[in-house]
Each structure stands twice: as C-alpha cells, then as structure tokens.
Amino acid sequence: MKVLIAEYAGSRDSILALEGKAMMSVLQESFERLGHTVFLPGSGDFNAEIAHLAPQCDYGLVIAPDDLLAGFTHTLELVTHNIGSDSTSVAVCANKRLTSKILSGAGINVPQEVTFDYTGKCVIKPIKGVGSIGVRIAKGGTVPKKNEMMVEFLEGEHYSVSIVGSRVVGEVCGFYSGLPPVFLTINRQHVMIGENGVFTYHGGETPVHPEREDEIIEVAKKTIELLGCQGYVGIDIIVGKKIWVVDVNPRPTMSIVGVVGVIEEEIADILLKATVGIPPKNVHYNGRKAMFDEFGEVTFFS
C-alpha cells in the first residue's frame, strides 16, 4: 500500500525541525519494514503538497503544530483515509481552554484557570501552542496576553501517555463506534524550569511504571474517548496529589522515537489495524528501555 506521512516541521526552517525529522523517520521506517511505499511532502506549500500527494495514497497521516494541524488534516481526509484524529477532534484539542472545559466537565482533573489577581503560584501558557513553547511561571502582576491563559501551578511528576485510538467507520452514513484504545507506554518527561521561569522540554524515558500506573492509563483512555481522538495520541500528565491532564496532542509526539524501540509490534501495523477497527488488545515490551532527548537522539538499554 501507499502511505503519505505529511510531517510539517522537518522540511522547514523551524525550531521543531529536528523533532519533526525524528518522528517522521521512525514512522517511515516502520511502514517500509511492512512493505508499504511511503510518500513524503517536499519543501513547497505544505497544504498543496498534501492535496497533490494524498489522492495517490491509500492512507495518510499529518504531523504539524497544533494551530495548523486541523486545517492540514481536513485537506488530507477529503481525499484519502486518515489514520490520525479527524480535523474536528484536532481543532478541539488545539484549544487548551476548550479541552480543559470538556475534560473537567466529565470529572477529569485539569489545571484550573485563574485570574490575574490569583495569589498562588501560577503558569501562563498559549491557548493554542506546541509542547512547552511559551509556557512560563507568571511573575507578580503579569497579565496574560489575548492568546494566552493563566492556570494554577501544579506540583508533581511529569509524564506522558502514548496511546492509539481506534474506530469503526460505517460506509453508508458516516456512523462510527469507538473501540477500546490501545495503550502503548507511560513515559517520564524531563521538564525543566529555568531561572527566568520558562519551561523547557528535554526529552524523557520509556517505558516507566509509576505507582499509580493503572489510574494513569484509565485517565488517558477516558480522555481520548471524550475528545474523539483516533490514531497515535500523546497525553501530558502531572501526577501529584491528583492525576491532572495538562495537554492532549492528537498526533505523534517525540515519545514515539522511544516507543517504537521498546515494543515488539510495529507501530505502523498498530496504526493501520486500529483505523480499520481491528486493533490489538495490548502491546508487548521487548525488555529494553529508551532514553530520548528533544532532538530525537535515542539510547536503548536493558
């Protein structure tokens, strides 16, 4: 089969270019190991590249910054089978304020949004942003910009959950019914706060097994079911007095560069089976652990 992997940052002069290339590379290699032909966009107009290449492919996946992902995904899903989240779910997840409202309404803990007169320690972050870019500790009297929100600062351990959503799509009227998501790994995130109060991401390790592992997995599964996410999803979580969902990324994240090396199954096979409604019940670890940095460098050890 022919598969389009449309990764945005790696082919552009972007601070996320190295991350993008790393994610694209592990996905491309996995699909090719299964015998599929992989198409990649060039460095021209990204949306036009998708519109040109996707009709030639049986399946497609878009990886792009959250504020751009919904539009590119919509272009893809009009002309081929999208193995990621649909554009509506992507648009919801891109808006952190809306995502928090949906999750908290269903009983999932999220960082509470606060006003400028809040007396406790708090964090300013973009309403639509990528990773830790633009996330910082609020200084006294700081007022967030129009495109930002301010939330309570949470004490705890930083993790992400890698998970794959699945669905069955009806051929006649577009009806779909969700199937149980496939849990892949819990990943420890190395997040640093500099002297200037700015958060920076420095990679992580996988798989890890925190004390509240079962609870974390159940929160992650409920999260993507509520948001209608399909395909590979990365969920950022802080575990402290509670388990808080901090961010939902309806696309491959940097953790995937480690995940593919610690599971026995091919990630490409999982994605393809999940999108047609025959996902595996679980995955199997191969006994290795992975340390990965923000540039896609990975070290495996037993």
pLDDT attached to residue 172: 39
pLDDT above 50 (res 48): yes
Q: What is the pLDDT of residues 21-46, one digit of tens each?
A: 999 999 999 999 999 999 999 989 99
pLDDT attached to residue 174: 45
Q: CB 33: neighbour CB atoms within 10 A?
A: 11
Where in the chain are the domains?
Answer: 2-97+155-301, 110-152
Least confident of 115-129, 148-162, 274-288: 115-129
Residue 138 CA: distances (Å) to CA of 197, 287, 288? 8, 42, 39
pLDDT attached to residue 119: 80
| Residue that is written with structure tokens 């996410």 in the block | 229
pLDDT above 70 (res 88): yes
2-97+155-301 CATH:
3.30.470.20
pLDDT above 70 (res 294): yes
Token pair of 123, please? Answer: 């964090």
How many percent of the chain have pLDDT more than 90? 76
How many percent of the chain have pLDDT more than 70? 94
Give the pLDDT mean for 262-284: 96
Q: What is the pLDDT of residues 169-185, one digit of tens each?
A: 444 344 455 688 999 99
Supply the DSSP string of 92-144, one letter for each residue: HHH-HHHHHHHHHHTT---PPB--TT--S-EEEEESS--TTTT-EEPPTT---
| Residue that is written with structure tokens 């949470």 in the block | 154
- Three-state DSSP class for residue 43: coil
Q: What is the pLDDT of residues 204-256, one digit of tens each?
A: 999 999 999 999 999 999 999 999 999 999 999 999 999 999 999 999 999 99
Q: What is the pLDDT of residues 133-173, one digit of tens each?
A: 778 988 766 778 889 999 999 999 999 999 999 975 444 34
Find out whether 294 and 254 touch, Cβ atoms under 8 Å: yes
Prior bond to 207 cis, omega within 30? yes
